[in-house]
Amino acid sequence: MVSPYSWAHPGGVNNHILGTAREMRARGHRVTVVAPDSGAVPDVVAFTTAGRSIPVPANGSVAHIAVLPPTPSRLRRALGSGGFDVVHVHEPLVPLVSVCAVRAAQSRVVGTFHASSEGRSTTYALARLALKRVHARIDHCIAVSEPARQLANSYFEGEYDILPNGVDLDRFAPGLPRPERMPAADVPVVLFVGRNERRKGLGLLLEAFDEVLDAAPDAALVVVGEGYSDADLRGAPGRVRAATSVLGFVSNEELPAYYGAADVFCSPALGGESFGIVLIEAMASGTPVVASDIPGYRYVLEKSRGGCLFGSGDRHGLASALTGLLLDADLRERLSKMGLAGVTQFSWRVLADRLEEIYSGG
């Protein structure tokens, strides 16, 4: 399994790879992850570094990718010496690791496309001609959602299976011990999880939370994510700052308990989300979701029904959705039950069945 993104900077694509790798190894497959830099991986999964990454602005975010000259030779050595039956490349058209992996592969190549965009993709448009041969080398194309399929297919036509992001239902489940850093159990808690990037929408949530406190003055907001600190609250009203706890980075091992301890999970992203792993993690933990009405999130909630959408960028709509859930325990309970039932379709155990078929040429 190949990722173009630094393994030292956790994110949606790498978490997807890790979930797939765990499940495949549990089924008896030998799994090696190849990615820039290094970081924690399960003992049962081998890891090979693809070299050092550098930060590159991309899609309203910052991607840590390896683009230095030694990268192609590293990929050729890694893939040439592994005796692999399948090379599964994520974001196969992202330079330099993924593109080189497709070219260097000596066996069946599976490519998963994660990105989506509400408009044109400048990267795909510029690279279309140069990457046509790379795309043609992929034996089986996968998209994580319909928006991701539409983006990829608009520049590189072909057949795409839709195989969504997955969730480990053994790790993300209701009833985990409440983390010490969460507010007391009798305090209504809204949880936000995301990287410190404008497109994740924390600024919008802070604006909306001022309205939420009018109706639910005892509510609390908990912010989890690498790079966040109290400094990110400077522009918020005093009572919002007082009601907000910025926890910063929380490890993957600790994260499930935070989802389960919240009353509502909120993801107010402004765009650029092809799926929304955080949504299914929250619903698997029994926590109802409030999310912005963008294509990737809409896809998840239409499938799972464990939450509600508000107009992207509409702070009043966000405040109304949060208030409605915080003040209605019966609604939270109904959405929690629907979410728990709906996310079973996103279990890695279910998705891995189809992946094994694809790996075998089905």
Q: Are residues 111 and 136 in the same domain?
A: yes
Tell me the residue type at 324.
G
Q: Are residues 340 and 203 in the same domain?
A: yes
Strands 54-58 and 61-65: antiparallel
Q: If we measure between CA atoms, which residue out of 11, 161, 216, 215 comes closest to residue 94?
A: 11
Query: Would 138 be classed as within a structural domain?
Result: yes
Q: Are residues 340 and 200 in the same domain?
A: yes
Query: Would 273 be classed as within a structural domain?
Result: yes
Q: Express each pLDDT in 237-261 by its tens digit.
A: 999 999 999 999 998 889 999 999 9
Q: Are residues 208 and 287 in the same domain?
A: yes
Q: Are residues 160 and 198 in the same domain?
A: no
Average pLDDT value for residue range 1-10: 93
Q: Are residues 203 and 80 in the same domain?
A: no
If pLDDT is split at 50, 70 and 90, which confidence band does 120 have?
low
Question: 103: domain CATH number?
Answer: 3.40.50.2000
Provide the domain limits for residue 135: 12-166+347-359
Average pLDDT along the chain: 93
Q: Are residues 204 and 133 in the same domain?
A: no
pLDDT of 119 higher than 60:
no
Look at residue 127 in the predicted model and tell me its pLDDT. Answer: 72
Q: Express each pLDDT in 72-110 by its tens digit.
A: 999 999 998 778 999 999 999 998 999 999 999 999 999
Look at residue 93 in the predicted model and tell me its pLDDT. Answer: 92
pLDDT of 283 higher than 90:
yes
Q: Express each pLDDT in 221-242 by its tens digit.
A: 999 998 899 999 999 999 999 9
**Domain count of the fold of the chain:** 2
Q: How far apart are CA 258 and CA 146, in angstroms?
A: 29
Average pLDDT value for residue range 17-33: 94
Least confident of 21-30, 105-114, 124-133, 297-306: 124-133
**Running DSSP on this structure, what letter comes out for residue 167?**
B
Decide if 97 contacts 36 (C-beta within 8 A). yes
Q: Are residues 133 and 277 in the same domain?
A: no
Q: What is the pTM of this model?
A: 0.87
Look at residue 41 in the predicted model and tell me its pLDDT. Answer: 77
pLDDT of 40 higher than 80:
no
- For the chain, the residue count is 362
Alpha-carbon distance values, 124 to 16, 48, 56, 58, 154 (Å): 22, 28, 16, 12, 9
Query: Would 175 be classed as within a structural domain?
Result: no
Query: Would 69 be classed as within a structural domain?
Result: yes
Q: Are residues 31 and 105 in the same domain?
A: yes
